[in-house]
Amino acid sequence: MTVVSGVTVKQLGEIALSLGMVEAMNLDGGGSSGLYYNGSYIATPGRLLSNAVVIKILNASPMTILLNSKPLFFDTEPYVNETYNRTLVPLRGITEALGASVGWNATTSSITITRFDTKLELRVGSATVLVNGKSEMMDVPVLLKDSRTYVPLRFITQYFGGDVKWIQESRTVELTINDATQLIEQAKQYEASNQYEEAEQRYKAILEIDTNNIFAAKRLAVIYASLSPDKIKAIKYYEKVYELDPKDAANVSSLAWAYYGNLQLNKAIEMFFIYDEMVPSSGIGYYGAAVCYSHYQKNDVESAVKYYQLALKKTLTPAQVDIAMTYIKEHE
């Protein structure tokens, strides 16, 4: 016999299930527990009964719901609605499992479910759902059962980008949905082993789940800028990072040089000036602007000399100092 402490009634039930117990009853008097099994006490409770978990043999095999291969447990049972022949699950349980948040819109008297960039609005008794403001129809309404709100499992999962598979033999529902945290760890591992195409695929998948994931955008920018060069794509993701965090000075510098590398000189100069305002002690901003002005497509010698001179008054690398001084000397 195993003594388990510090668990909820629901957790104790899960433990009993994992041990393969049937027709078992756990009796908890608050300070101690008893276990009643197969007609007799295995352990006698030390106090009066306050709550219990009962596990019994069912006429049919219970439904199992797996999320990314891990079983889900709810405080109220999912069920198949015979009218619609659809699996319904408790609203709060499934949304928490999917990493979504639940709210209430008092203005429209509707339930809101939000996961990253996807927002659903539902009403009890209605099969209409607003997906990011666009009206769509489910083939089963949101229902109340025993004062609990139930939603169609397949539709809720698919609206958040997941896949649903029903296995009749084992009465199992398999849910598969991308998790940003897991994908980030996978992408990091692929990057560390120089498998950049695999890392790229996962970072893109993260942005499909969460378009505002700044880490994924940064890593894609780096991959396209240097590890798997593609200037246009590098600029796309540097711009994405700048949109999400305009105060990231390192990204501003990277974006400026990416513009320069793609001969978008006016944009590059603009970003170099922004960088100079952000990091006034560094000469990189003026230096980068001077490099752009000295490019043959602009050939603005006066501006190039001016900004090289200003850059020399700030912090530069020895190599940058040499380039600036050489240009100034050649164009005196």
- The domain limits of the chain are 9-55, 64-176, 180-330
Name which of 50-64, 96-110, 180-194 the model is least confident about. Answer: 50-64
For tokens 């380039």, name the residue.
323
Per CATH, the homologous superfamily of domain 180-330 is Tetratricopeptide repeat domain (1.25.40.10)
Compare 171 and 223 and report the one with higher pLDDT: 223
CB atoms within 10 A of CB 117: 12
Is residue 4 within 8 Å of 32, Cβ to Cβ?
no
Q: What token pair was written down for 224? A: 């396209």
CB atoms within 10 A of CB 153: 22
* Residue 58 banded pLDDT, cuts 50, 70, 90: low
Compare 237 and 8 and report the one with higher pLDDT: 237
Q: What token pair was written down for 138? A: 């489910």
Give the closest residue to 77 by CA, choosing from 67, 88, 85. 88
Rg (CA), the chain: 30
For tokens 């020399």, name the residue.
312
Predicted pLDDT at 208: 81
Question: What would the pLDDT profile of 137-183 be if each residue is shown by its tens digit?
Answer: 999 999 999 889 999 999 888 888 788 998 888 889 998 887 778 78
Nearest-angstrom CA–CA distance, 302 and 131 = 56
Is residue 28 within 8 Å of 45, Cβ to Cβ?
yes
Predicted pLDDT at 80: 87
Task: Indicate if the pLDDT at residue 115 is higher than 70.
Answer: yes
Predicted pLDDT at 111: 93
Task: Indicate if the pLDDT at residue 123 is higher than 90.
Answer: yes
- pLDDT, averaged across the chain: 86
| Beta strand extents in the chain (DSSP E only) | 24-28, 33-37, 40-43, 51-55, 64-67, 70-71, 79-81, 86-90, 101-105, 110-115, 118-122, 128-131, 134-137, 143-145, 148-152, 163-167, 172-176
Residues with Cβ within 8 Å of 248's Cβ and at least 6 positions away in sequence, in order, are: 241, 242
Nearest-angstrom CA–CA distance, 149 and 47 = 35
Predicted pLDDT at 29: 47
Name which of 58-67, 92-101, 176-185, 249-258 the model is least confident about. Answer: 58-67
Q: Which residues pair with 27 in a beta bridge?
A: 34, 52
Name which of 47-56, 60-69, 176-185 the model is least confident about. Answer: 47-56
For tokens 């596990």, name the residue.
55
* Residue 251 banded pLDDT, cuts 50, 70, 90: very high
Nearest-angstrom CA–CA distance, 173 and 63 = 8
* Residue 203 banded pLDDT, cuts 50, 70, 90: very high
For tokens 């598979």, name the residue.
165
CATH 3.40.710.10 fits 64-176, yes or no: no
The whole-number average pLDDT for the span 224-244 is 92
Global model pTM greater than 0.85: no
Q: Is 231 left (phi over 0), alpha (psi -120 to 50) or beta?
A: alpha
Nearest-angstrom CA–CA distance, 66 and 165 = 10
